[in-house]
Amino acid sequence: MRTVTILGATGSIGTSTLDLIERAPDQFRVKALTANGDVAGLAAAARRTGAEWAVVADATCVEPLRAALSGTRTRVAGGAQAVCDAARSGADWTMAAIVGCAGLAPVMAAIESGSTVVLANKEPLVSAGDVIVAAAKRHGATLLPADSEHNAIFQCFDASRPARVRRIVLTASGGPFRTWRREQMRSVTPEQAVAHPNWSMGAKISVDSATMMNKGLELIEAARLFPVAPERIEIIIHRQSVIHSMVEYVDGSVLAQLGPSDMRVPIAHCLAWPDRMATPMPSLDFAALARLDFEAPDEERFPALALARQALRDGGARPAILNAANEVAVAAFLARGIGFLEIAAIVADTLAAYDPPSPVTVDDVLAIDAQARMMAGERARACV
């Protein structure tokens, strides 16, 4: 039986992970569940799974959580340090699904315990990629990708012969504005931007899909996860979201991973790895699919792609600045403080204005992130 900790248990990734675990109670035992402040959701999950620990990052929620779990054996704690303690509590397998840089310290704590850490949030590899990868090697931790694209690559990539890989191809749905002219996108509303055509996701990642920044961030992640030169990682729009990514080898063979547009598929792969486990997903109906379409992305209409690729080339602190500025800009857009096209413009301006030394520690990354957020926030307020 594998022990499991879920960091961010009440979000979409956390609830999908819990769904799979609860379908196989003889295979998994829940060690710790964490949430930011969703007391009701966390308590319900802890009760269903018999979790040993339930931890809220918001310390003011500790007493309500304790009351909600009265009569159970689940221990309750709160605060940022308690989340890190839960991450290093010795689970065999940890799902890292805390949104934003708040997840960096817990991810590092889980890595330091030497366990298998599944990365579902982008910040560890985008903002602190070099630091995280070095720590995983140092502590003997295994990093597994839960993003559908990176998990697809992981399933197709021959890690024993990386020199035989010609290129990696990341697929992108293109988002809801794939065919829109740039002028049309000036009037995009938050409601339109979060209406993803294929996936059910949170507001922030849905907006990232609409700007295609999510694919730029995934490009940076792929470069951290797989030993392939950045110029050999390509992006292709595949609107059906059936092929989740591909790996081409030097002999011309292309291996692709196909599956339903449901995050339980890549999560299940990580949960059972190196084995496989059953999921409730139906088989693909290829006759109903009928066709799979592909097209090149347009970096003029979606400048976030070019910004991300340049940040990857420049390295150092640039990816962390890109990510922080984007988060601030997306939040401002969702709050109706800026227009849709201003998101990429704010990221570009923040990158142009701030160029600190390369981070060496998680604290360095957090300091860069904080400064970039402040600068991006000032730029966003100037739009009002």
CA-to-CA dists, residue 133 to 125, 138, 324, 367, angstroms: 8, 9, 20, 19
Kindly report which listed range (96-105, 194-203, 311-320) carries the lowest average pLDDT score. 194-203
What gap in Å lies between CA 137 and CA 143, rounded to an integer?
Answer: 10
Q: Which CATH superfamily is domain 2-145 in?
A: NAD(P)-binding Rossmann-like Domain (3.40.50.720)
Rounded to an integer, the average pLDDT of 287-291 is 91
What mean pLDDT comes out for the span 15-24?
97
In this structure, are residues 155 and 266 in contact, taking their beta carbons and an 8 Å threshold? no
Is residue 100 over pLDDT 90?
no
Question: Is pLDDT of 200 > 70?
Answer: no
Nearest to 304 by CA among 199, 189, 182: 182
Could you tell me the fold of the domain covering 166-259+297-381? Answer: Rna Polymerase Sigma Factor; Chain: A (1.10.1740)
Q: Which residue has the higher pLDDT, 203 or 250?
A: 250
Per DSSP, helices labelled H in the chain are 12-23, 39-49, 62-68, 80-87, 104-112, 123-126, 129-139, 148-156, 182-185, 190-193, 203-211, 213-225, 264-272, 286-289, 304-314, 318-334, 342-353, 362-381
- Location of each CATH 1.10.1740.10 domain in the chain: 166-259+297-381
Reported as a pLDDT band with limits 50, 70 and 90, residue 31 is very high
Residue 139: what are its φ and ψ, rounded to 5°? -100, 0
How distant, in Å, are the alpha carbons of 339, 341, 380 from that of 184? 12, 10, 21
Q: For residue 71, what pLDDT band results from cuts at 50, 70 and 90? A: very high
User: What are the DSSP calls for 251-274, one per residue?
Assistant: TS-EEEEE--S-THHHHHHHHHTT
Q: Using CB atoms within 10 A of its CB, is residue 357 exposed (0-12), middle (13-18) or buried (19+)?
A: exposed
Query: Strand 165-172 to strand 243-249: parallel, antiparallel, or no bridges (unpaired)?
Result: antiparallel
* 313 pLDDT higher than 90: yes
Q: Is the pLDDT of residue 235 over 90?
A: yes
For the stretch 317-348, pLDDT in tens is 999 999 999 999 999 999 999 999 999 999 99
Determine the pLDDT at residue 185.
95
Q: Which residues contact 378 (CB under 8 A, 6 or more apart)?
A: none
Give helix 362-381 / helix 318-334 axis angle, nearest 10°: 40
* Beta-bridge partners for 144: 118
The two beta strands, 53-56 and 28-35, are: parallel
* Residue 145 β-bridge partners: 119
Lowest mean pLDDT among 157-161, 199-203, 226-230, 268-272: 199-203
CATH code 3.40.50.720 region(s) in the chain = 2-145
| Residue 308 burial (10 A CB sphere; 0-12, 13-18, 19+) | buried
Number of other CB atoms surrounding residue 198 within 10 Å: 16
C-alpha dihedral sign at 36, 39, 43, 44? negative
Rounded to two decimals, the pTM is 0.92
**Which residue, chain included where needed, has tokens 């470069």?**
223
Q: Are 156 and 256 in contact (CB under 8 A)?
A: yes
**Tokens at 167, concatenated:** 């290129």
DSSP 308: H
pLDDT at 117: 97
> What average pLDDT does range 208-228 have in this prediction?
95
pLDDT of residue 384: 65
pLDDT of residue 101: 82
Q: How confident is the model at residue 198 (pLDDT cuts 50, 70, 90)?
A: low
Q: Is the peptide bond before 280 cis (omega within 30 degrees of 0)?
A: no
How confident is the model at residue 199, as a pLDDT? 62
Concatenated DSSP letters of 218-229: HHHHHHHHSSS-
**Token pair listed for 257:** 């991973």
The pair of three-digit structure tokens given for residue 240, joined into one six-digit string: 């059906």
